[in-house]
Structures are given as C-alpha cells and as structure tokens.
Structure 1
Amino acid sequence: MTTANLLSHALGLPHHVDSLMLARRDKAAMNAALRDAGLPSAHTVKVQGGDDIDSALEEFTLPVIVKPVDSAGGDGCVVCWQASDVAAAVEAALGQRNLLGIKNSEMLIQDYLDGQQFIVNTVSIGGRHLVSDVHTVRVDRVGGRSVMRHSLLVTEMDASATLMVQFTLRCLDAVGIREGAAHTEVRLTAEGPRLIEVNARIMGASLEPSLYRTALGYTQADLVAERFTNPDAFVARFDSPYAPHAAMAMAFLYVSEPGTVVSSPGLDLVRTLPGLHSMEKLPAIGATIAQPWMCTGQAGMAYFVHRQRDLVAASLDRLHRLEDDGQLHRMWPPTAHPGHPSRRAG
C-alpha cells in the first residue's frame, strides 16, 4: 500500500496523504497520529525484548495486548494479565515471519481495549468518506487470545453505532485516508470509542458478492470500482441514508485446540440453520488446523443472510453452542473437556 501511494503520487493520481503513510501501516505511528489530531487512543509502546519490556510495563496497567507492529488476522495478538505473559508473548513472536510475510523485528505493547467491537467499512473520494457497511463483532477470550467468532451487519443505526461511525471518520482523517477503501476496527470502551486499527483496503481477502448484494445492494469492492469509474454516481450516494435491505453475518468456524480433523458431524446441523447462505473453506478430513484462534477461516466459514436480524443472531448462537461443545469438527488429539470460551465483547 505504501508503494501504491508513492506510485499514485508520482503519476498525479488520487492518493492518501503522503506524510502519514507510516500511520497507515505501523500501529504505533497510527495511534500517535490520532493523538496529534486530538483523538483519544490506546497507549502503545514498541519493544524489542528484555529490558524494553520491563521499562514499557511501568507505563501500563494490566491487562495489555501484545501484537506485531504490522500484521493482520489476529496473528501474534495475545492478551496478557501478568508481566511474565508479556515477556513470553514478545519473545515468542520476535524474529518470526508474520501473516503478511514480514519479519517481526519489534512488537507492540498496547492498552487492552474492553468493550463492544465494531467494524466500519468505508470508501472515500477527495477526503469525503462514504459508509459502506457497519458490523458488530463477537470476540471471545480463549486462554490469552482474542478469538473472533462472527460479524453481524448493523441494519439500523442506534446511538452506539452512530457514535462509532463518527469516531471512525475522524480516525480516517487523522491517518490521511482520502481515496478508496478502508476497513476500520473500533471498540466502545467504558471511556468511549477507541481505535483498534485502520486498514487502507477492503475488508478481508475476499467479499462474497451475492451475500453483500442481497443485504446491501453492493459490495465494498463495487463501491471502490464506482468511485473510480463513475465518480458522479458515487458522490450521489452521499444523499442516500445507510439502509441495508437485510441482515448478514460471517462466522469463523471454531475449534478449541489445534489438531487434525477426524470428522465434521456438526456440518449437517449447520446446514439446517435458518438464514444460512453458504459455507466455504471447510477443512477436509485429515486436514490440520494449526492456529484456530486466527480469523483466517482455517476451520471454515459460514455465511448468513435474512431480512430479520434477530433470526440471524439466533442462528449464530446455535452455531456457537455447537462449536463450544466440540460437536462441529471432531479433532485428534481429542479435547477431553472442550470448555466454553469466555465471552469478552460482541
């Protein structure tokens, strides 16, 4: 994305603010940009291990979250309730290649943000930001990791959703987003809205077109294409309220421990859940699920869409009970007591 920004600048094409390129990639610089813009932000410190950790922890109240400076998908993110956990998480990730293929030469220690998580997706033109879609997110704590269980489209903008969208748009300005897609994750904490991260891209590696077009009439990628090929039609969208036709949800199928898939007896039940649209990335028998806490769909994805948001929410609850009871995928080695994750937000 940095290369794309530099190339767009050199060609005289629309692009983001050059001076804030680092703030759109480096999470420490991102939070510094928010502070410079007068926005509240999570306290964030870069460390390289050893004495750095001890010194940094003097600035925090536990729990904290440890994460790579630049990665995605929950890769390397660990919630730490003790100082020894922080040191272990930092040392485990330093020197490793993260999900983006970048070697972790530094790690971040950051305030742990507790509260309802939201996703706000946008498409911008000339620094004006159009809200594409807004989702609430269920995140559970499994051991020291935050595990994303699902996102559920917001169909009516209540006070909390409106507040988070307003805060997100200010964050986009703070990090210099001006053109094209952005995918932003925020949390509504007891102290108010806080940014997790801004990503200058569409949400995820792919967007299931029929799911999005049924619920919204477009995908975020559709809006990006329109912004550049038919900007007049895109600008006209600012006059229309955010009004989805239906609710949709994306669930990251879950197993409690790494292992090999022996059978998947719960999938037939999932296929009967009201509002199920489709499933994908389902692991084959004999496949290994190495990092079940990652939101990359290693155990599969389930998509839902229906005009009634409560119906979709009820199906998600039934799905998660099935997963938590260890009945979706049977794994080897077996989990004697699957245990239920501690629900933290969403």
Structure 2
Amino acid sequence: MSKKVAVIIDAFSTGHQLGSYFKKHNFDLIHIESAKGIPASFKKYYRSEDFQIDILHEGDIKQTAEKLRAYHPQFVIAGAETGVELADYLSLELGLVTCNSKQLIEARRDKYLMIETIAQAGLPTAKQLKTNELDELLSWVKETNDWPIVMKPVKSASSDHVTFCYTVDEVEQAFQSIFGTTNMFGLENQEVLAQTFVTGQQYIVNAISFEGEHFITDIWEENFIESSDNNVMYDTFNLVENHGTIQSELIEYVKKVLTALGIQHGPSHTELRYTKNGPVIIETAARMMGESFDEQVYDETLNYNLPSITAECYIDGKSLKQRFAKGYQKKQHLVAVFMISHHAGMIESTSGLEHIRSLPTFAQIRTNAKVGSILEKTTAAMSHTGVILLAGKDREQIDKDTLTIRNLEKDGKLFTLTESSILI
C-alpha cells in the first residue's frame, strides 16, 4: 500500500459509513472482524468495496498487530461496540498516539466497571450489582428495596434484553432470560447487571474527543414506551438545541464522564437521565451512536454527520476547536420516529409506506419489511419495524406527521398482510 492507511474494526452499524470519508482523503483501508460468529444481521451493512484488506482477529493481539505493522497504519478505530476494546489494545500494541487510556479499557466496555469508575470520580450514578448467581441478586434486590430494578446484559448495546422489574418474581424471570443467553453481538451473557432505576427525561449526548478535549456533536431527547411485559420500546428521538440550562448541565457532566473513562480520541455515545438533582449516567460507549441515520439528513441539519466528524477527528483533529467554538448549530428540526407494529403476519404489500413518504416533513425511512417477510408485533427495542426521519423548520408539522404515523400504525395501514397469516 502506497497511501496512508487506516484500520476500522467491525465496520458495521454506523461504522459502515466511515470508510468513504477516509477514502476521500486518500487513505487505504484495512478491515478487521473482531471475532468469529458475529451475527449476519449485525454485519449486513458492511461495505466490502471500501477496504483493500480484510483480517479476522483470532484472539491473539500480538499476532493481529503484527499483520498490521507492515502497513504502518496511522490509527485503529472501532466501527461498532464489538470493536471498542480491540481498537485500544491494537493501538497500544502498535504504539499509536490515538489510543485511549490503557488502564480503563475494560471500563469502557463493561457496564458495571464503567459505572463504578464514574462513581469513583465523584459523579452521581445508580446503585448496581453484577452477578452470575440468582441468590446473590435476590438478596441485593431485597436489601436495596428500590423499585423498579433495571436488568440488562453487562456487555451489549441499544436496549438489548433491558427489562424493568417491579417485583422479585420479575427480577428472577429477567435473570433467567439474560443469563447464559446470547446478546445482539453473538456473545454469551455470562453475568447479569442489575441497577436501580434513574427517574427523569432521558438524553443522548454524542461527542468527539481530540487529545483529551471533548466536543459535543449532538444532543437528543429520548422518548420511550414501556411494553406490557416490562420491555422498552423506542418512541422518538428529538434533536435538541445546543444551548439551554439542561443542555449546559448535560454537557458539563458528560465531559467529566468521558475524562473519568479515559477517552482521549474519537467518538463517544452517552445515555443519561436528567433527574431532579441533575444528570445521572446510564452508560457510555467509546464509538459512534449505533443508529445509522441518513448522512445527508444529518449534513442538512448540522453541516456534518457522525462518520464525517469522526474522520475529521483522526485526519485533522485540530480543526474541531474552531468548528465547535460556539457549540453545534442546528439548522432545522430533526426527529427519529421508531416504527411500532401492532399486528403480525406475512406481508403481502408495502404500498402503505407511500403514506409515510408523502408526509410534508418526511426525510428518510429505513425498514427491513418487504413483501413475503414476516411482520412481528413490536414488543421491545430490538423488534421495531424500522425508523423514520422527519426534518424541517416547522416543528408543529413534524408533530402532526408523527401523530399521523402512529395512527397509520394502529390502523394497520402501512402493511397489507395475507389474510390467513394475520395475528391480532
């Protein structure tokens, strides 16, 4: 390879969009798959044409680093959650300056260690327990006596297996549904994380860090719907302004979190709640937000998107200080509406989606629903039918269009199901 070289680990999820931005800056790209057995559903957006070389990491850091050394890569980046630890281990082994703190690599991936590290930095956090023993969990729950209890895998993402429990029986059921099962990345859940519930509006704060300085790229208000079986479904994500009393507190808190976790370079994705006492962390990921929203819509709203700003950080990080001198500037409203199916059956027609595309503020729809596929009822965050982006200057119109979407879903107008397969 005669060009500059960048390495992306697990270029899936939003990471599949990264390669094109480095190619624009004359980089050759090497892709590393972090392990065998990553689910096909997670890898489906991978763009093989962006990469000159593909390497499967087989568990030996030194061996994989040796394969890379001959190409003199300038940096190694995690394209998805599964690549977070390996990106830092390889960066360390290769002596790259873009590595995050060596001592806190596990704390940036293990949600229990993450919260413990943040608490040790003096920041407010939930109470928690990590365990593989049901008896230990039930004793902690009874002693804590702070309901609801949130149950989740220790190493996953999104709302994978996240369950709100209001009774001891529900805690036991959630433990059984998580422990020993496989998470969304194909990894076995060998331990279960239990946390006290943090009350307040939930937010996403995305950031980019360069040489230990943190710049906030976008803040989203998250809205949820709790299903009948105590699982969580997404409702909407609403991009909020950079300025405001709440935003200022969120930004200050998140920057302290990123510093506590030793994040020095690259993107981060933090979820937290704004309580009556201020911000409290849910979790942070040392990678881009997983929802790969349309790059053009992001560009039209912020003048950049998450993959482009990540590439800018590694290629010309010093430019970030000027770009974010006054914080990010939102040029239009942007709302993500997560599609909720109230019906199940085999899809005969998707023509009803034209109702969505004709909405005044419609910007993008992403769905796997197609003729002949099975439509499932949405009961959790992992079973949404898709996501719709609404954008524009008129916030009232966006709200009207959101309501229209919800009514179309309830009435079963988006998908025609074969009569013999309809499950109410």
Length-normalised TM-score, structure 1: 0.89
2:103 corresponds, among 7, 14, 19, to 19
2:113 corresponds, among 24, 29, 32, to 29
Please give the per-residue CA displacement for 1:262-318, whole angstroms capped at 9, x wherever unaligned. Answer: 555642322222210121224013323457344457512211111233432332233
Please give the per-residue CA displacement for 1:196-225, whole angstroms capped at 9, x wherever unaligned. Answer: 110111111534111100100000111111
Letter aligned with residue 248 of structure 1:
L
* Greater RCO structure (CA 8 Å; 6+ sep): 1
Counterpart position of 1:339: none
1:233 corresponds, among 305, 308, 319, to 319
Alpha-carbon distance in 2 for matches of 1:289, 1:174:
43
Counterpart position of 1:271: 357
Say which SS state the counterpart of residue 136 (structure 1) adopts.
strand
Shift of 1:229: 1.1
Q: Superposition RMSD on alpha carbons, in Å?
A: 2.1
1:88 corresponds, among 173, 182, 185, to 173
Q: Contact 1:185–1:198 (CA<8 Å) still a contact in 2?
A: yes
**Higher-Rg member (1/2):** 2
Length-normalised TM-score, structure 2: 0.74
Say which SS state the counterpart of residue 310 (structure 2) adopts.
helix
Cα distance, 1:10–1:252 mapped onto 2, change above 3 Å: same
Say which SS state the counterpart of residue 182 (structure 2) adopts.
coil
Matched, 1:285 2:352: no
2:267 corresponds, among 181, 190, 194, to 181
Aligned-pair identity (%): 28
Alpha-carbon distance in 2 for matches of 1:324, 1:44:
37
Matched, 1:6 2:92: no
Say which SS state the counterpart of residue 216 (structure 2) adopts.
strand
Say which SS state the counterpart of residue 157 (structure 1) adopts.
coil
Please give the per-residue CA displacement for 1:159-201, whole angstroms capped at 9, x wherever unaligned. Answer: 2222222211111112111110001111112342111110111
Matched, 1:150 2:150: no
Alpha-carbon distance in 1 for matches of 2:195, 2:344:
27
Say which SS state the counterpart of residue 239 (structure 1) adopts.
coil
Paired positions, count = 335
Counterpart position of 2:6: none
Counterpart position of 2:10: none
Counterpart position of 1:70: 155
Counterpart position of 1:209: 295
Cα distance, 1:250–1:90 mapped onto 2, change above 3 Å: same
Alpha-carbon distance in 2 for matches of 1:243, 1:201:
22
Letter aligned with residue 106 of structure 1:
E
Shift of 1:236: 1.9
Shift of 1:47: 2.4
Unpaired runs of 5+ residues, structure 2, are 1-83
Alpha-carbon distance in 2 for matches of 1:125, 1:93:
36
Counterpart position of 1:132: 217
Counterpart position of 1:334: 423
Which deviates more, 13-22 or 252-261? 252-261
Cα distance, 1:311–1:265 mapped onto 2, change above 3 Å: same
Alpha-carbon distance in 2 for matches of 1:104, 1:286:
33
Cα distance, 1:169–1:309 mapped onto 2, change above 3 Å: farther
Letter aligned with residue 230 of structure 1:
D
Counterpart position of 2:197: 112
1:312 corresponds, among 398, 402, 405, to 398
Alpha-carbon distance in 2 for matches of 1:41, 1:260:
44
Letter aligned with residue 18 of structure 1:
K
Please give the per-residue CA displacement for 1:311-341, whole angstroms capped at 9, x wherever unaligned. Answer: 3233223323433454444665432xxxxxx
Alpha-carbon distance in 1 for matches of 2:373, 2:94:
46
Which deviates more, 103-112 or 47-56? 47-56
Shift of 1:230: 1.6
Flag as ranges the 4+ runs of structure 1 deviating above 6 A: none
Which deviates more, 268-277 or 308-317? 308-317
Which deviates more, 87-96 or 297-306? 297-306
Alpha-carbon distance in 2 for matches of 1:238, 1:251:
28
Q: Contact 2:175–2:192 (CA<8 Å) still a contact in 1?
A: yes
Q: Contact 1:155–1:247 (CA<8 Å) still a contact in 2?
A: no
Cα distance, 1:2–1:156 mapped onto 2, change above 3 Å: closer
Alpha-carbon distance in 1 for matches of 2:180, 2:345:
25
Shift of 1:133: 0.9
Which deviates more, 317-326 or 177-186? 317-326
Cα distance, 1:201–1:259 mapped onto 2, change above 3 Å: farther
Matched, 1:218 2:307: no
Cα distance, 1:77–1:51 mapped onto 2, change above 3 Å: same
Q: Contact 1:49–1:90 (CA<8 Å) still a contact in 2?
A: no
Between Structure 1 and Structure 2, the one with more helix by share is 2
Cα distance, 1:180–1:156 mapped onto 2, change above 3 Å: closer
Alpha-carbon distance in 2 for matches of 1:26, 1:200:
11
Alpha-carbon distance in 1 for matches of 2:203, 2:89:
30
Unpaired runs of 5+ residues, structure 1, are 336-346
